[in-house]
């Protein structure tokens, strides 16, 4: 395994692999790797000749009041996890090399972005697509891997790839969970004990909502109201949003008559957690 910090060097590596006819799987991360990331790495390892993992806490996708500085980091641990998962290259650039001066161009997401996390994190997805476009141009991956936990991110990356004709396969991997159902996240370490106890109720609330649909509930507003009541009593955090939208279009709907995403975000004192479930009009889970 090689650790590369230099952009030019990464580009030279990638082009030489492409010239050898090798497929490149790319797993973009912000580090502090957990089993969720490992699921991505394993999928990439299985499907490609070369696997490149990037670790970059991208300041562009953090809002001013967000947790850029408290975002957890552990380079030593990440290196070990990458090695165990037979990663070929960790790309670990500095902020200065990624953004040597203010950008003259801006890439922004104008559809699918003003719902769910986009609503409470203005500019977040602009930062995500900007860093991904840069990384895609450095790596030229055959396939890129994302977890279903960030379902909106998947919808937005899908738009980036299609709108700009990147010849890249977008592969989604199911959310990995703790035994109690809490979605794995690098931010989980920032939960206080009581918060940690309440956090699994996010997923429980979403499953409760799915079951209500299974039992015949068709009304979006009714459903969201019931889930909110369920979650408010149990999560120990402040609900940022509970939303039900068509998936993957992320359009608002009144009646549940198609595949939908039911998603929630909860603010804790030092973390904001998200989760979702995707199911059809019968309440049958269809993704992730």
Using the rule CB under 8 A, is 11 a contact of a second copy? yes
96 is in an annotated binding site: no
285 is in an annotated binding site: no
- The residue with tokens 């809490």 is 182
Cα–Cα distance for residue pair 147/28, rounded to 1 Å: 11
Q: Which of 33, 40, 144, 159 binds a second copy (CB under 8 A)?
A: 159
269 is in an annotated binding site: no
Q: Which of the ranges 73-81, 100-108, 213-221, 268-276 carries the binding residues for a second copy, by CB under 8 A?
A: 100-108
Please give the radius of gyration of the chain, using alpha carbons only, rounded to the nearest integer.
19
Phi-psi region of 171 (alpha: psi -120 to 50; beta: other; left: phi over 0): beta
> Is residue 25 classed as helix, strand or coil in its secondary structure?
strand
> Is residue 126 classed as helix, strand or coil in its secondary structure?
helix
Binding string, residues 103-142; x marks residues near a second copy by CB under 8 A: xxxxxxxxxx----------------x---xx--xx-x--
Q: Which is nearer to a second copy, 118 or 283 (CB)?
A: 118
* Contacts of a second copy in 69-98 (CB under 8 A): none
Which is catalytic among the residues 37, 77, 140, 236? 37
283 is in an annotated binding site: no
> CB 238 → a second copy: shortest distance, Å?
30
Is 37 in the active site? yes
Using the rule CB under 8 A, is 166 a contact of a second copy? yes
Are 269 and 254 within 8 A, CB to CB?
no
Q: Which of the ranges 15-23, 69-77, 171-179, 259-267 carries the binding residues for a second copy, by CB under 8 A?
A: 15-23
> Is residue 148 classed as helix, strand or coil in its secondary structure?
helix
37 is in an annotated binding site: yes
> CB 114 → a second copy: shortest distance, Å?
11
Beta sheet of 272-279, edge-to-edge order: 238-246, 260-267, 272-279, 285-287
List the structure tokens of 118: 């986009």
Size of the site for a second copy (CB under 8 A): 33
CA-closest candidate to residue 17, choices 45, 44, 59, 50: 50
Q: Which is nearer to a second copy, 22 or 228 (CB)?
A: 22
Cα–Cα distance for residue pair 235/155, rounded to 1 Å: 27
Cα–Cα distance for residue pair 247/260, rounded to 1 Å: 5
32 is in an annotated binding site: yes
Which residues contact a second copy by CB under 8 A? 7, 11, 15, 18-21, 102-112, 129, 133-134, 137-138, 140, 156, 159-160, 162-167
Which residues are part of the catalytic machinery? 37
Question: What are the binding residues for beta-alanine?
Answer: 61
């Amino acid at each position: 395994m090689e650790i590369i910090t230099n952009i030019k060097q990464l580009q030279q590596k990638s082009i030489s692999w492409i010239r050898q006819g090798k497929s490149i799987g790319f797993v973009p991360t912000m580090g502090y790797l957990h089993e969720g990331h490992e699921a991505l790495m394993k999928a990439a390892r299985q499907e490609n000749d070369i696997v490149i993992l990037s670790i970059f806490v991208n300041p562009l996708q953090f809002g001013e009041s967000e947790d850029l500085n408290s975002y957890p980091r552990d380079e030593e641990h990440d290196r070990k996890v990458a090695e165990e998962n037979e990663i070929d290259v960790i790309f670990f650039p500095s902020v200065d090399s990624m953004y040597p001066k203010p950008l003259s161009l801006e890439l922004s997401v104008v559809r699918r972005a003003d719902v769910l996390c986009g609503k409470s994190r203005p500019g977040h997805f602009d930062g995500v697509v900007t860093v991904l476009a840069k990384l895609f141009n450095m790596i030229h991956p055959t396939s890129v891997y994302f977890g279903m936990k960030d379902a909106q991110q998947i919808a937005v990356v899908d738009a980036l790839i299609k709108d700009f004709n990147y010849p890249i396969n977008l592969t989604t991997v199911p959310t990995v969970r703790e035994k109690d159902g809490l979605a794995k996240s690098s931010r989980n370490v920032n939960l206080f004990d009581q918060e940690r106890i309440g956090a699994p109720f996010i997923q429980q609330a979403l499953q409760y909502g799915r079951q209500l649909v299974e039992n015949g509930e068709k009304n979006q507003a009714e459903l969201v109201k019931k889930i909110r009541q369920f979650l408010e009593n149990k999560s120990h955090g402040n609900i940022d949003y509970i939303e039900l939208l068509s998936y993957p279009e992320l359009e608002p709907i009144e009646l549940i008559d198609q595949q939908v995403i039911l998603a929630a975000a909860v603010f804790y004192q030092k973390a904001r957690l998200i989760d979702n479930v995707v199911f059809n009009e019968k309440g049958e889970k269809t993704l992730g």
